[in-house]
Amino acid sequence: MNSLAFASIKEIKEKLDKKEISKEEVLRYFIKRFERHDGVIDSALEIFDEASILAHASHAGTLAGIPGIIKDNIVQKDRPITCASKILKGFTATYDSTATARLKKEGALLIGRANCDEFAMGSSGETSAYKTTKNPWDIDRVPGGSSSGSAAAVAAGLVPWSLGSDTGGSIRLPAAFCNLVGIKPTYGRVSRYGLIAYGSSMDQIGAFTRNVYDNALVMAAIAGHDAKDSSSRNVPATDYTKELTGSIKPGLKIGIIENALYAEGMDPEIASAVEVAIKHYEKLGAIIEKVKLPMIEYGAATYFIVSRAEAASNLARFDGVRYGLRADVDNLNDMYNKTREEGFGSEVKSRIIVGNYVLSAGHAGQFYQKANDVRAMIRSEFLQAFKSVDVLLMPTHSIPPFKFGSFKVDKLAMDLQDNFTCAANLAHIPALSIPCGFTASKLPIGLQLIGPDFSEGLLYQTAYAYEQSTPWHTYKPDNLD
């Protein structure tokens, strides 16, 4: 049954349909894979017991019998949830997020909780209060963050799919670092109900998989309007797998964001892999246009302000009264303070401090309002570009997966890992990262496709045509048999 490890969802479904294997056997197989490899990879905070996993899932559906793991900032009914923070230690979710409820309805087997950066704040996975997830392609390197465990589990073949969340790049960066397909859908495409808020105006749930078809399948299950999330958009969800023809849309125009591809600090191996991919799209029939989007260069700075402001507001609710940890102090004010002091890690604390500063009466105009103005300009620049091209293309990242501790001192350099991803969150538009090659030392490289609102189907179609005519998604990390 070794062949199941890196099998696609589609292949596992076929085996289940033909009754070559039962869903209990599939589940047991993947639980065993976690036992065998996760001592090294450290992708999961918890793997649930077999009987309870099966009891949560319906018997039929598009994902019946297919195990996946959920980032630990998305609630699963009657399961613990921590956001990889000490402050939520001991807290159990009382309801299902809309995404997990929909997956269960489609028969998916939710196998456990994936590690991540604390409250999804980070780019490397290193801010988790519990463990440090390794990159399956090189265990001395980070898997990318904040959805570190979700990405590493899929890359190591421990599960065929996972859910992550992406506020400034937390799905696409780890997808690129781990040779996966990862999508940040249009804001409002997937319900945020049950996703613990970080930057509410940007947070979206999305899927990690090892190929485009599987990604489209998982996203079709969770996308669509939800009355429980007021920012969910009432646009009908389509079966994205139907868009996967194997060819690109006739006459497809791809805009290459030149100022990103040739940005200062861009790793030359990444730039050349992306250049080769552009040539490949040309061969597939795409019309390539070079574009410049100068506003995206303000993306990271803008994101820095908006994300901290929203984080400070959202995290005010963790005060020891309602959830998880409570410091043992008599005086109420001291209890709040002590709980937050003990419960939050240093990254979270620094963001709360910066967030409150940029929102404070004396400074909000200078920082927060200005950031919102720039944000509107970023969106309008994208919309302008989509008048002349169908999709935009640029690298997902500027450097290959780095070693643990690389940015311990230079924290700003860590924040700049979001340079190429956070503009899509600020603009609310969908963006997809797909594998596009490896460096000479066999580290994955990711390519990003960005489209207008609700163009997920077009992004998948464009990605699939590339994937099916390139070998990248077929490579596997070593030592994970």
Residue positions annotated with a catalytic role: 71, 146, 170
Q: Can you list the pairs that 268-272 forms with residues at least 24 positions away whose Cβ atoms lie under 8 Å?
A: 269/400, 269/439, 269/440, 269/445, 270/395, 270/397, 270/398, 270/399, 270/400, 270/439, 270/445, 271/395
Q: How near is the Cβ of 207 to ligand GLN at its closest, in Å?
A: 15
- Name every residue whose Cβ is closer than 8 Å to that of residue 353 and which is 6 or more positions away in sequence: 312
Q: How near is the Cβ of 199 to ligand GLN at its closest, in Å?
A: 7
169 is a contact residue toward ligand GLN (CB under 6 A): yes
3-state DSSP assignment of residue 211: coil
167 is a contact residue toward ligand GLN (CB under 6 A): yes
The window from 11-19, 167-175, 281-289, 439-447 that contacts ligand GLN (CB under 6 A) reads 167-175
Beta bridge partners of 256: 290, 393
Q: How near is the Cβ of 152 to ligand GLN at its closest, in Å?
A: 16
Q: What residue number has its CB nearest to ligand GLN?
A: 170
Helices (H) and strands (E) in the chain, counts: 16, 11
Q: How near is the Cβ of 215 to ligand GLN at its closest, in Å?
A: 18
Interaction with ligand GLN in 64-123: which residues (CB under 6 A)? 120-123
DSSP state of 372: H
Interaction with ligand GLN in 255-314: which residues (CB under 6 A)? 307
Candidates 166, 310, 453, 467; binder of ligand GLN (CB under 6 A) is 166
Q: Which is nearer to ligand GLN, 169 or 255 (CB)?
A: 169
User: Among all chains, which residue has been given the structure tokens 């500027």?
Assistant: 398
In our burial notation (b when 16+ CB lie closer than 10 A, e otherwise), range 17-37 reads eeeebebeebbebbbebbeeb
Site pattern 118..137 for ligand GLN (x: CB under 6 A): --xxxx--------------
The window from 42-50, 87-95, 136-144, 159-167 that contacts ligand GLN (CB under 6 A) reads 159-167
Q: Which is nearer to ligand GLN, 169 or 395 (CB)?
A: 169
Candidates 98, 128, 133, 170; binder of ligand GLN (CB under 6 A) is 170
43 is a contact residue toward ligand GLN (CB under 6 A): no
Q: Which is nearer to ligand GLN, 72 or 106 (CB)?
A: 72
Whether cis (ω within 30° of 0) applies to the bond prior to 123 is no
Q: Which is nearer to ligand GLN, 291 or 426 (CB)?
A: 426
The window from 149-157, 164-172, 246-254, 451-459 that contacts ligand GLN (CB under 6 A) reads 164-172
Q: How near is the Cβ of 321 to ligand GLN at its closest, in Å?
A: 26
Calpha distance 177→425 (Å, rounded): 19
Residue 320 — left, alpha, or beta (φ > 0 → left; ψ -120 to 50 → alpha)?
left
Q: Which is nearer to ligand GLN, 196 or 270 (CB)?
A: 196
3-state DSSP assignment of residue 166: strand
Interaction with ligand GLN in 413-432: which residues (CB under 6 A)? 418
Calpha distance 149→128 (Å, rounded): 10
Q: Which is nearer to ligand GLN, 19 or 408 (CB)?
A: 408
Q: How near is the Cβ of 169 to ligand GLN at its closest, in Å?
A: 5
Contact 66, 108 (CB under 8 A): yes
Angle at 44 between CA 38 and CA 50, to 5 degrees: 90
Beta-strand pair 204-209/391-395: unpaired
Q: Which is nearer to ligand GLN, 72 or 418 (CB)?
A: 418
Q: How near is the Cβ of 28 to ligand GLN at its closest, in Å?
A: 33
Candidates 65, 80, 160, 168; binder of ligand GLN (CB under 6 A) is 168
3-state DSSP assignment of residue 10: helix
Q: How near is the Cβ of 146 to ligand GLN at its closest, in Å?
A: 4
Interaction with ligand GLN in 188-227: which residues (CB under 6 A)? 198
User: Among all chains, which residue has been given the structure tokens 């033909």?
Assistant: 18
149 is a contact residue toward ligand GLN (CB under 6 A): no
Calpha distance 214→8 (Å, rounded): 7
Tell me the number of residues near ligand GLN by CB under 6 A: 14
Q: Tokens representing 377?
A: 């300009």
DSSP state of 438: E
Contact 189, 158 (CB under 8 A): no
How would you write 21-76 as a 3-class SS string? CCHHHHHHHHHHHHHHHHHHHCCEEEECCHHHHHHHCCCCCCCCCCEEEEECCECC
Q: Which is nearer to ligand GLN, 403 or 411 (CB)?
A: 411
Q: Which is nearer to ligand GLN, 433 or 461 (CB)?
A: 433
Q: How near is the Cβ of 231 to ligand GLN at its closest, in Å?
A: 16
**Where do contacts with ligand GLN occur on this chain (CB under 6 A)?**
120-123, 146, 165-170, 198, 307, 418
